[in-house]
A and B are shown apart, each in its own frame.
Chain A
């Protein structure tokens, strides 16, 4: 019996030590690594989508076109209105906007064929490129914000 108890105890101790390794304090680096992976997945996918859906007008390097199509690179409007871009991408834009001191009034067509995740990936790409680093823009966030689009 004692022998058995010892075995049981050592087994318990052994599994506890394994469990300890998975304690929250130890999981942290693994979690941030996962977040980083997720960010790059969004970013890389976002770049591919950007080249297909956005770069024709906004330029491969987000440079825009004269005073016709606003730049996305180093754009004060974009970086201070990131949440707004959800509706701008899906529903288009007809209002005049000012970007880096220049007014733009050419309407932007809607892209309602893009799915929520795709919009999140595109926003992650454009808000973390050309010198900007705003972090991941999650699909959950796009889903929440897009319900308010008109």
Chain B
């Protein structure tokens, strides 16, 4: 009898451990995957390719080029903003500063803020803006470049709204989303950057994603 009781206890114990294991959150891969048919050894096979961030090349506040290659072996949080934005941007920036401070010693995490008013937000304007926020280009890139390319990248790759709109405060319409991108250019999370509770979730998810990339 004793042995059975022990066995039951052991089963329950390891069962509980296993359920803890499975309860560990794994971040989804977002976006519509592409199905590609391949012919291998005369047989047709379908391959699923995840949605990824398209190639881009923009200048940051140091006048240095930033591309997908800048983030090899890194993960990053992206957002869309403009420096003269009177509406949600200051809240978004104060929330990004929370993330910046939270991961002060984490070299594998970067922040990327795309300007949707790149004609006004030149390298010099972005430089002043970054300086006023007191943040380093080593960890936080503010990007400017061709306006339409930025809008297209926002809509197609990051799946967020970004456009000129006379009706919106400051003349631009944009989402307040923060986007979490993994080291393979895949979107792993979307968060409302104007809501502190959502940013708490993002901070937790960043830890999960960093752990995922850890060599086991």
Chain A positions within 8 Å of B, measured between CB atoms, are 56-57, 59, 65-69, 104-107, 109
Contact = CB atoms under 8 A, between A and B. Distances in A.
Contacts of B90: 56-57, 65, 68-69
Contacts of A67: 131-134
Nearest to B129: A68
10 contacts: A56-B86, A56-B90, A56-B91, A65-B94, A66-B97, A66-B134, A68-B129, A68-B133, A106-B83, A106-B132
Interface string B61-91: 0000000000000000000000110111011
B93 interface: yes
A109 B84 contact: yes
User: For the complex, would chain B's binding face be called helix, strand, loop or mixed by DSSP majority?
Assistant: helix
- In order of increasing CB-CB distance, the 10 nearest A-B pairs are A68-B132, A67-B132, A57-B90, A109-B86, A66-B133, A65-B90, A66-B134, A65-B94, A56-B90, A56-B91
Contacts of B88: 56
A66 B95 CA distance: 12
Interface residues of B, number: 17
B167 to A, nearest CB: 14
A66 to B, nearest CB: 5
Interface in B116-133: 128-129, 131-133
A68 B87 contact: no
B170 interface: yes
A56 B97 contact: no
Contact of B87 (A56, A59, A65, A66): A56
A105 B94 CA distance: 18
A65 B93 contact: yes
Nearest to A57: B90
A59 B128 CA distance: 21
